[in-house]
């Protein structure tokens, strides 16, 4: 995974050129309002990885135990080839992000099967689009069908024939139908046959193949349904089925299995004992228990109770060597050493709970890998001590917020079972933010986090069901401020992620939603209700599920479901104090124009399904930042099995609504929303599968995929000072779209121009921290992607440049299209084509006086590009490198660059920093030797680092010093190059003289000359012999130049006295050595004339015939 930008790289191109099939070769004629045009607007992953996220499946290569595939519940599949030191996301751009099963073909380990859609039945479950297969170890994937299964419980590959595969299609959780049942393929997934079907409500949650007889299979049928208001986790159709003929025929197994309704059954055959199979059974009454069969599932006996919640934990694992040992992942993983009769906790010290999958090393059963809500763990002593992999950035964020800390703002968000976290949006170092930069605000399942805009040390953070605290980061003091009902009042009903906001008019005023809306005017110390119950107040127990009303004894009824009828969304207008909007989980929008004194109700806007009794879940309410009358609403209907996006706008404060879903994909619920604070027509929507934006208020939506994998975008926040869009994803951490402001500037007029530089935000003059990216901490150190330092230019180019050859080929194609014969080029024309310079596009930066301070070669293909200038001036040496010149220089500590690859290819370093002030940028193009200006110039500012308190007079002194040092560096580099050149020539002369008939006295003279050159070089760069003796040696001119240059290039302020002293000495000493070199050069030319006269063989640098 590319995790960091190497900040020492001075100039980075952020260009991902928009190159897609076009009506003509230059790109003219294609619609500029397309995803390809905006591909340079790249999102950056900032993590974190310290808490990781829910792991649902683990597969280890049978012949290489360093190679693992880890399936993440909502974060794709990750591969390591070095036992977890580094990871690569190999399943991240497919049609689904949620993973229920990962299986390696044991006969052909390069073949990997993935079942998309995790197979737990929690409220935060992701869904998939069928079965995937890779035949190259995860590099490429094919979707092989069962697209409406939504959840795959298990995949089993026949060990005798890799083309024979069984897939347990669990089927949709939120509705009936879909690909539901046990499916079999005999052609490697090209086609599937349903070999076991129960009903439209009941799918196959598990399938197990007898390792001793692959013709024997057990399959689990499970009847279940979840909605916003309830869960039913079993029924009469649940049960166990067996086949003894490879799935051709099936019979239901009843002997020893509890009668009546059943919940979920989970299976595991023992590889260590033929006929032994274990089952975790969820009965209608009583405890979840382990059952065992000694006849491959024909009959069963109850062994012992186990602490488990089958709704959330779907696996058990028989030890491959010890028949009586069984692992049962749950809140605490439980292990039995007596065949399931008794259990003890495996051991969770220094480890996250809520376990989902255990891989047991078949060669060393003390070695385990375990996936849980906190990510991936490894133990070599069966659970006594654990290693946590803190380099898997798969955190599931429900919400995101930002503060206004300067110059680097912080990001906050609540996670699924991994606390509420906060950390920096970038870093000053060569690496991006690391896990050590993040901190925990509060524990539990984290949700809304809000930061006081007047005091960024005050953070409000929420956990499940309304548990809210106020944190003072200065003291780490957390105060519980959850509102409660008054004496004699009915209990409050809180959402799993209860909405909470700070008033934009007074940060001490808080609003918090239960089933009533609460207000605090003292930062949560006291609360008062300002509304009645704002929900429908429907009795959820009377709502039909799967065609009937279920009794109180229904299996796991309402488990892990909030007490229904609560506030799910909340907003206050920043344009009008007291204009409040509330959305509920049962489909109502309530609004108050008078700070809660009175309320009005809105429900079922046009196009939204009308369920009468329960409505559609209100996911988000957003009061416009630009217009008091405008409010937006996002409805999320996946909990009724409907995956369409529902996004609405009201222009009259909620009285009436209009859909603005436009051309958003029909499959992928809208989950989050943001409105630009400058342009009211620039809107963002996060969906189940990605990020979209519109520049026309919602008619046309454009997807931004750029470095963002297929993932649910649960929340959006805008950092208005920086114009950054921050994404909270559910399974891949936080992402940042840096400075999206060009999106508010795009329009048809801009795209009609030959080129356009968008307004560039002020660039801060920051000196990056030095050092290697990972230092000496090893490759396992996780780093987020960093924002490059400097000015980020975003520019549009309408047409790609065309060379003479391309223009000739264009004309030939046009002639052929008209059935004409194109003229054949002349020899002179063909030669001219070969000799033509490649077209170049330049971005030129000039100061306020018009003086050019930097000219950069930038991409010039059609599309929007981004390019970063690191605020350094013209380099003092060719190629843009930096150093005293020649050998030497700083840095080191290792031979290899340990930084991750930059986000995109970089550029050159440049000289010293420019001064704060106003600058102008222009685009130009050189084609065929002719330079043409493109578009208009764009002014921008360079501002000082607020942490660097440098007075103006000091900056003037520093700039003067930088100019003088630049001249010194150029002179030194040239002198050293000339000295090396003279040494090269004298070395060649001495070799040539040995093989020539010339007088050997000439050889003596050449040797003396060589020693004189060497003496100058030693003065320039130091005496290597003395350095080797470590007995002390005089400071070389190069050392003094390097010191002087460090004071100019590495600082923005006045250099030290020592640096200035070194500068003065270097100037004087260098002048003397340059005089010597010039004299030596003149002497050498005369000597070479003598060599020519003596007939000595040619040597480099000598003109023949001298």
pLDDT score at 772: 66
301 forms bridges with which residues in the sheet? Answer: 292
Q: Residue 324: what are its φ and ψ, rounded to 5°?
A: -85, 0
Q: What is the pLDDT of residues 984-1002, one digit of tens each?
A: 999 999 999 988 888 889 9
Q: Residue 1071: what are its φ and ψ, rounded to 5°?
A: -60, -40
Q: Is the pLDDT of residue 16 over 90?
A: no
pTM for this prediction: 0.93
Q: Residue 335: what are its φ and ψ, rounded to 5°?
A: -130, 140
pLDDT score at 995: 86
pLDDT score at 28: 60
* Identical topology for domains 8-20+740-800+839-887+900-949 and 401-540+562-739: no
- d(CA 514, CA 567) in angstroms, rounded, equals 5
pLDDT score at 1048: 72
pLDDT confidence band for 846 (50 / 70 / 90): very high
Structural contact between residues 40 and 864, judged by C-beta atoms closer than 8 angstroms: yes
| Domain 401-540+562-739 annotated CATH 2.130.10.10 | yes
Residue closest to 576 by CA, chosen among 556, 555, 591, 588: 591
H/E stretch holding 988 reads: helix 952-994
Please give, one letter per residue, the 3-state secondary structure of 822-864.
CCCCCHHHHHHHHHCCCCEEEEEEEECCCCEEEEEEECCCCEE
Q: At what angle do helices 1037-1049 and 1000-1021 cross, to 10 degrees?
A: 40
Q: Is the pLDDT of residue 318 over 90?
A: yes
Strands laid side by side in the 355-360 sheet: 355-360, 368-372, 375-379, 387-388
Place of tokens 């299995």: 257
Structural contact between residues 208 and 269, judged by C-beta atoms closer than 8 angstroms: yes
302 forms bridges with which residues in the sheet? Answer: 291
Q: In terms of CATH, what superfamily is 52-384?
A: YVTN repeat-like/Quinoprotein amine dehydrogenase (2.130.10.10)
pLDDT score at 425: 97
293 forms bridges with which residues in the sheet? Answer: 277
- d(CA 431, CA 900) in angstroms, rounded, equals 9
pLDDT confidence band for 1025 (50 / 70 / 90): confident
Q: What is the pLDDT of residues 921-946, one digit of tens each?
A: 999 999 988 999 999 999 999 998 88
Q: What is the pLDDT of residues 616-652, one digit of tens each?
A: 999 999 999 999 999 999 999 999 999 999 999 999 9
Q: Is the pLDDT of residue 15 over 90?
A: no
pLDDT confidence band for 465 (50 / 70 / 90): very high
H/E stretch holding 957 reads: helix 952-994
pLDDT confidence band for 1031 (50 / 70 / 90): low
- d(CA 101, CA 736) in angstroms, rounded, equals 30
H/E stretch holding 817 reads: helix 804-817
pLDDT confidence band for 832 (50 / 70 / 90): confident
| Domain 8-20+740-800+839-887+900-949 annotated CATH 2.60.40.4070 | yes
pLDDT confidence band for 200 (50 / 70 / 90): very high
State the chain's mean pLDDT as an integer: 92
Q: What is the pLDDT of residues 144-165, one digit of tens each?
A: 999 999 999 999 999 999 999 9
Pairing of strands 567-572, 580-584: antiparallel
pLDDT confidence band for 890 (50 / 70 / 90): very low
Residue closest to 531 by CA, chosen among 584, 460, 466, 469: 584
pLDDT score at 650: 98
- d(CA 50, CA 72) in angstroms, rounded, equals 16
* % of the chain residues with pLDDT over 90: 81
Q: Can the peptide bond before residue 407 be classed as cis, meaning omega within 30 degrees of 0?
A: yes
Which has more confidence, 838 or 2? 838
pLDDT confidence band for 960 (50 / 70 / 90): confident
* % of the chain residues with pLDDT over 70: 93
Q: What is the pLDDT of residues 661-707, one digit of tens each?
A: 999 999 999 999 999 999 999 999 999 999 999 999 999 999 999 99
Place of tokens 């003088």: 964
> Residue 147, exposed/middle/buried by CB under 10 A (0-12, 13-18, 19+)?
middle
Q: What is the pLDDT of residues 478-521, one digit of tens each?
A: 999 999 999 999 999 999 999 999 999 999 999 999 999 999 99
Mean pLDDT lowest among 557-561, 741-745, 835-839: 835-839
Query: In the structure encoding, which two tokens stand for residue 758, read together?
Result: 């968008």
Q: Is the pLDDT of residue 6 over 70?
A: no
pLDDT score at 888: 32
Q: What is the pLDDT of residues 442-454, one digit of tens each?
A: 999 999 999 999 9
Which has more confidence, 127 or 1104? 127
Question: What residue ranges do the domains of the chain occupy?
Answer: 8-20+740-800+839-887+900-949, 52-384, 401-540+562-739, 952-1094
Mean pLDDT lowest among 285-299, 361-375, 607-621, 1027-1041: 1027-1041
- d(CA 621, CA 632) in angstroms, rounded, equals 6
pLDDT confidence band for 273 (50 / 70 / 90): very high
pLDDT score at 1055: 84
């Amino acid at each position: 995974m590319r995790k960091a930008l190497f900040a020492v790289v001075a100039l980075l191109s952020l260009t991902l050129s928009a190159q897609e099939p076009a009506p003509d070769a230059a790109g003219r004629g294609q619609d500029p309002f397309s995803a390809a045009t905006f591909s340079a607007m790249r999102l950056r992953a900032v993590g974190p990885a310290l808490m990781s996220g829910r792991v649902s499946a683990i597969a280890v290569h049978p012949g290489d135990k360093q190679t693992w595939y880890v399936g993440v519940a909502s974060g794709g599949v990750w591969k390591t080839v070095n036992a977890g030191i580094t990871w690569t996301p190999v399943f991240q751009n497919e049609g689904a992000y949620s993973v229920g099963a990962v299986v390696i073909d044991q006969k052909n380990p390069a073949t990997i099967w993935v079942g998309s859609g995790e197979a737990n039945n929690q409220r935060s479950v992701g869904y998939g689009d069928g079965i995937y297969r890779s035949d190259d170890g995860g590099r490429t994937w094919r979707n092989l069908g069962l697209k409406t299964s939504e959840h795959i419980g298990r995949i089993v590959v026949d060990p005798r024939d890799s083309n024979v595969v069984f897939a347990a299609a669990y089927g949709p959780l939120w509705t009936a139908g879909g690909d539901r049942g046990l499916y079999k393929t005999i052609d490697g997934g090209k086609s599937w046959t349903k070999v076991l079907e129960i009903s439209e409500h009941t799918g196959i949650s598990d399938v197990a193949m007898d390792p001793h007889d692959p013709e024997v299979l057990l399959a689990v049928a499970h009847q279940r349904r979840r909605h916003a208001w309830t869960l039913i986790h079993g029924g009469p159709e649940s049960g166990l089925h067996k086949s003894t003929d490879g799935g051709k025929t099936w019979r239901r197994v009843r002997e020893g299995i509890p009668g009546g309704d059943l919940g979920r059954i989970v299976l595991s055959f023992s590889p260590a004992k033929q006929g032994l199979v274990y089952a975790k059974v969820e009965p209608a009454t009583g405890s979840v228990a382990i059952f065992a069969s000694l006849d491959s599932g024909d009959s069963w006996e109850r062994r012992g109770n186990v602490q488990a919640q089958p709704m959330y934990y779907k696996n058990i694992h028989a030890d491959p060597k010890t028949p009586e040992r069984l692992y049962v992942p749950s809140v605490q993983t439980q292990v039995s050493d007596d065949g399931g009769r008794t259990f003890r906790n495996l051991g969770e010290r220094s480890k996250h709970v809520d376990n989902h999958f255990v891989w047991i090393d078949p060669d060393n059963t003390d070695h385990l890998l375990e996936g849980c809500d906190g990510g991936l763990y490894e133990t070599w002593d069966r659970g006594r001590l654990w290693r946590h992999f803190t380099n898997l950035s798969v955190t599931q964020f429900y919400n995101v917020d930002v503060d206004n800390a300067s110059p680097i703002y912080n990001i906050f968000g609540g996670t699924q079972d991994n606390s509420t976290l906060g950390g920096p949006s970038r870093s000053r170092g060569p690496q991006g933010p690391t896990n050590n930069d993040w901190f925990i605000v509060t524990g539990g399942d984290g949700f809304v986090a809000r930061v006081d805009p007047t005091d960024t040390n005050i953070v409000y953070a929420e956990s499940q069901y309304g548990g809210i605290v106020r944190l003072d980061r200065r003291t780490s003091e957390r105060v519980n401020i959850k509102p409660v009902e008054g004496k004699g009042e009915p209990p409050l009903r809180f959402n799993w992620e209860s909405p909470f906001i700070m008033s934009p008019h007074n940060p001490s005023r808080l609003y918090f939603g239960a089933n009533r809306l609460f207000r605090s005017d003292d930062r949560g110390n006291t609360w008062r209700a300002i509304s009645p119950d704002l929900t429908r107040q429907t009795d959820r127990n009377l709502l039909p599920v799967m065609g009937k009303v279920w009794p109180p004894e229904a299996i796991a009824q309402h488990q892990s479901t909030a007490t229904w009828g609560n506030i799910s969304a909340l907003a206050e207008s920043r344009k009008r104090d007291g204009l409040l909007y509330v959305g509920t989980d049962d489909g109502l929008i309530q609004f108050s124009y008078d700070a809660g004194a009175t309320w009005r109700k809105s429900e079922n806007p046009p196009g939204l399904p009308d369920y009468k009794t329960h409505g559609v879940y209100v996911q988000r309410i957003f009061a416009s930042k630009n217009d008091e009358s405008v409010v937006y609403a996002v409805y999320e209907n996946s909990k009724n099995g409907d995956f369409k996006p529902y996004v609405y706008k009201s222009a009259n404060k909620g009285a009436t609504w209009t859909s603005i879903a436009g051309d958003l994909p029909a499959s992928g619920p809208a989950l989050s929303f943001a409105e630009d604070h400058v342009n009211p027509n620039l809107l963002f929507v996060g969906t189940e599968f990605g990020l979209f934006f519109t520049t026309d208020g919602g008619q046309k939506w454009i997807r931004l995929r750029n470095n963002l994998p297929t993932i649910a975008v649960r929340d959006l926040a805008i950092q208005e000072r920086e114009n950054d869009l921050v994404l909270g994803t559910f399974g891949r951490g936080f992402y940042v779209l840096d400075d999206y402001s060009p999106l508010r500037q795009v329009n048809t007029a801009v795209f009609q121009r030959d080129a356009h530089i968008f307004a560039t935000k002020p660039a801060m003059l920051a000196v990056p921290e030095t050092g290697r990216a990972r230092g000496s901490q090893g490759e396992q150190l996780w780093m987020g992607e960093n924002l490059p330092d400097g000015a980020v230019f975003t520019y549009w180019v309408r047409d790609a440049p065309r060379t003479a050859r391309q223009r000739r080929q264009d004309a030939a194609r046009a002639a052929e299209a008209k059935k004409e014969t194109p003229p054949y080029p002349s020899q002179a024309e063909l030669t001219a084509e070969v000799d033509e310079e490649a077209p170049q596009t330049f971005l030129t930066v000039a100061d306020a006086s018009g003086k050019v301070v930097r000219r950069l070669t930038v991409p010039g293909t059609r599309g929007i590009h981004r390019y970063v200038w690191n605020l350094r001036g013209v380099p003092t040496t060719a190629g843009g490198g930096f150093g005293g010149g020649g050998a030497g220089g700083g840095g080191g500590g290792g031979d290899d660059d340990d930084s991750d690859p930059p986000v995109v290819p970089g550029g050159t370093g440049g000289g010293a920093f420019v001064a704060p002030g106003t600058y102008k940028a222009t685009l130009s193009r050189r084609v065929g030797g002719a330079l043409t200006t493109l578009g208009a110039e764009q002014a921008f500012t360079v501002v000082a680092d607020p942490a660097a308190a440098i007075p103006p007079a000091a900056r003037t002194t520093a700039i003067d010093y930088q100019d003088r040092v630049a001249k010194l560096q150029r002179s030194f580099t040239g002198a050293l190059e000339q000295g090396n050149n003279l040494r090269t020539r004298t070395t060649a002369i001495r070799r040539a003289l040995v093989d020539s008939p010339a007088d050997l006295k000439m050889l003596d003279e050449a040797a003396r000359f060589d020693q004189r050159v060497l003496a100058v070089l030693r003065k320039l760069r130091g005496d290597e012999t003395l350095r080797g003796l470590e007995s002390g040696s005089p400071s070389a001119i190069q050392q003094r130049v390097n010191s002087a240059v460090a004071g100019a290039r590495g600082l923005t302020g006045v250099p030290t006295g020592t640096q200035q002293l070194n500068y003065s000495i270097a100037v004087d000493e260098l002048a003397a050595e340059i005089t010597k070199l010039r004299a030596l050069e003149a002497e050498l030319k005369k000597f070479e004339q003598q060599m020519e006269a003596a007939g000595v063989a040619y040597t480099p640098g000598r003109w023949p015939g001298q």
